[in-house]
Amino acid sequence: MIPSLSMQIAKERLGAGRMVVIWILLGVLTIFTSWGFSDSRATFTSGYGLDSAYDILFASTAATIWGATLGALLISFDGVSRDRLSGVFEVKLSQPMSRQKFALSLIIGHWGAILVPFIVLNLLSVLIIWHRIDDLPSIQQFVMYIAASALLVLWWTIIQLLASSWASDMGLSIAMGMGVWISFNLLWIIPTAVIAAISGTGVDDLSSSEFTELQSLVDLFNPNGVYNNMMEMLLEGVKRSISPIYVTISSILWTLVPAWLFIRRIQRISP
């Protein structure tokens, strides 16, 4: 029952008008970034060269974080609140299906709706990189990229569904989701700098090994930071500042804890 309901939700979302905006947003960020970074003259400001296909995929993670996470918010902002306002949610909860399975269907359906354009465009970006530099990521690197990106989209989908389940209207749902998004994307440097100051780590040189290690640890509490750490695990020529074990544990927690909170919320929600 979960697969059929998830498929139905995904089809509804894929057919929504907002998908046009999401396709354009993801297309511009994903394809243009891959094309630009595959230029042989492109380098990081630190001087690190983009010498392989995976280097370019890693450099493109900034576009992934912005495009995919915003897409997840646009897909899921009314995942619960709209049906609650219209009274449809009460009808759905009265169906012969446990609330736990219904919550899982909501997660999988909304996640699948954003995952379809994301994977299609990323496959296209890999082909662009292949055309531009005649190099492809290894199977391990490609699987890591797709898996890490899919997890990032999943985390943000659940976060927005949680916001939608708590919001009294769709406007509040958008505001809550965007507030969390801004905090993790734009304001995260503030708690990182505060923790660095408290721990005695200098913030005058943000490229120092001490600050980089601290930042990697603090990023474990940020879904975008965990994604970046996962992508960095297979990056050649870069010394990792944090153990892969911590990154793995953090990714598991970011998958299970928000999902558990959302399922618990649906089980207790009053239509």
Single-letter amino acid code for the residue at 253? L
Residue 220 near residue 253 (C-beta atoms within 8 A):
no
pLDDT tens sequence across 163-188: 888 887 778 888 888 888 888 888 88
What is the reported pLDDT for 140? 94
Alpha helices by DSSP H, 38-188? 53-59, 61-76, 81-86, 88-93, 99-133, 139-166, 170-185
Q: Is the dihedral of CA 69, 76, 268, 85 positive or negative?
A: positive
* Domain extents in the chain: 2-268
Q: Which residues contact 89 (CB under 8 A, 6 or more apart)?
A: 80, 83, 271
pLDDT at 85 over 80: no
Residues 183 and 116: their CA atoms lie apart, in Å, by 27
pLDDT tens sequence across 191-247: 888 888 787 776 666 666 777 788 888 889 999 999 999 998 888 766 667 888 999
The average pLDDT across 117-132 equals 90
Residues 216 and 238: their CA atoms lie apart, in Å, by 14
Q: Is the dihedral of CA 81, 84, 89, 93 positive or negative?
A: positive
What is the reported pLDDT for 157? 93
What is the reported pLDDT for 41? 67
pLDDT tens sequence across 33-52: 888 888 766 555 555 567 78
Listed residue (73, 81, 142) closest to 110, CA to CA: 73
